[in-house]
Amino acid sequence: MGQLVARGHELTSRPDEADVIVVNTCSFIHPAKQESVDTILEMAEFKKNGRAKKLIVAGCLVERYRGDIRRQLPEVDAMVGTNELEQIVALSEGGTAQASSAEPYLYHDLTPRVLATPRHYAYIKIAEGCDHPCSFCVIPQFRGHFRSRGFESVVAEASRLLSRGVREINLIGQDTTCYGEDLGIKDGLALLLKRLARIETARGKWIRFLYCYPNRITQKLLDTMAAHDALVKYIDMPLQHASASVLKRMKRGASGDVFLKLLARIRSSVPGVAIRTSLIVGFPGETDRDFEELCRFVEAARFDRLGVFSYSDEETSESCHLDGKVDKRTVYNRRRRLMALQRRVSRRGNRALVGRELEVLVTGLSAESELVWEARLATQAPEIDGVCHIEDPGEVAPRAGQFRRMRVTRAHDYDLAGSLVDEAPVEETEAAEALFPILP
Ligand code: SF4
């Protein structure tokens, strides 16, 4: 999007207004592939009945199924794989694709970008690819080997975003905790976070990192988190399971006991930390006993946030060839049971916050009511965790991007409700705006 804007093109999120429609796709698991194909077919209608002249498909579906798309979706005019992003301008302008570079793509701070998130928060990708061998996962097949962005490049991008009014930065990558290993930097993520926390404009803002690999969480990383106010006390660490035999078949290793010790160390090192994880149920060979062990683990671990995914058989993954496939009904029931268990844990945690006054980042009006505003605690990551509903905003309406104090008055299973208790700040951010260009 940044490259198109830098070239003078105008972006629209309305397909009926577009001359060129680009569908960015995902092909991680079956539902994502289905959604991608459905969207391509839906967008193809605008070529027949609208003003669109061209339909371009980009992203991971192209990496995985280029030949199939060419054969089975004649409506698609061009494709842009994950290493060919720089061809988007030529293809949109009617040119043809150049031979792609053999180098895996990695953007840098001079790559123009457009914030597709609301203006007060942004994601920064600090690394691409993954070298872990998880047997259920196909991501390394189309995202390639792990490679880190340069240290200074990330710092420059973060500084630019913060100085343009971004209040919250979320560092992402398939595995952020490996950051710097390929560059020969020891404790790369801890060093990067320390540096980001010291940027002048980071004072009072939130810097969060997502997607940690459990055995890469070092004491230095935890101590760094604890030492800097700008670093959000939040760990998102997918564990996938707790039974040692399932973890072995997943090619991830460790066990529930190892994870419980790690959780205790994280909590004692970073006071007030919120921990999120994701788990897979129905992995091939998961027995009733394995599942009961997982339930006991979830009870004991008291995760603040938890996502439970049903195992998806992907034809090019190693686990696809494992025996002991679990039937769909059992997978469905296991997922429901685990989520019900977590709902109780989450409700207990939320109830403990009632009556407390906490800092929130206002995110805008609630989609459900014009009388209710939404905000997030630092321990609620965007787009995935629960939110805070501001039912009493005070005399002056809050604005998206403001940091405010909220008294928690009610607790739901995942969300909280409360009232703002501070004065509206004099210094205001501009209203949230879609597709905000950040050009170097
Ligand atoms: S660490 Fe994550 S991205 Fe890497 S192989 Fe495992 S599940 Fe896939």
DSSP symbols for 222-273 = HHHHHH-TTB-SEEE---B---HHHHHHTT----HHHHHHHHHHHHHHSTT-
Identify the H or E element spanning 114.
strand 113-115
Pocket of ligand 1 (CB under 6 A): 130, 132, 134, 137, 139-140, 174-175, 213
Identify the H or E element spanning 148.
strand 147-148
- Distances in Å between the Cα of 367 and the Cα atoms of 56, 364, 431 are 31, 9, 16
| Rounded-to-integer distance, Cα 94 and Cα 113, Å | 22
pLDDT for 95 equals 76
| Atom number, ligand 1, closest to the C-alpha of residue 211 | 2
pLDDT for 370 equals 83
Pocket test for ligand 1, best of 137, 178, 309 (most atoms within 8 A of CB): 137
Question: What distance in angstroms lies between residue 140's CA and the mean position of ligand 1's atoms?
Answer: 7
Q: Is the pLDDT of residue 432 over 50?
A: no
Q: What is the percent of the chain where pLDDT is above 70?
A: 95
176 neighbors 128 (Cβ within 8 angstroms): no
Q: Which of 28-37, 130-139, 391-400 has the lowest mean pLDDT?
A: 391-400
Which region, left, alpha or beta, applies to residue 23 given φ > 0 means left and ψ of -120 to 50 means alpha?
beta
Residue range 331-343: mean pLDDT, rounded: 97
Identify the three-state secondary structure at position 418. Answer: strand
Identify the three-state secondary structure at position 376. Answer: strand
| Atom number, ligand 1, closest to the C-alpha of residue 137 | 8
Q: How far, in whole angstroms, is CA 160 from its chain's centroid?
A: 21
> Residue 100: pLDDT band by 50, 70, 90 thresholds?
low
**Chain position carrying tokens 């804007």:** 5
Residue of the nearest CA to atom 1 in ligand 1?
Answer: 132
| Rounded-to-integer distance, Cα 234 and Cα 221, Å | 12
Which region, left, alpha or beta, applies to residue 112 given φ > 0 means left and ψ of -120 to 50 means alpha?
beta
Residue of the nearest CA to atom 8 in ligand 1?
Answer: 137
Pocket test for ligand 1, best of 28, 128, 131, 134 (most atoms within 8 A of CB): 134
For the beta carbon of residue 37, count every other beta carbon within 10 angstroms. 20
- For 106-129, the pLDDT digits (tens) are 889 999 999 999 999 999 999 999
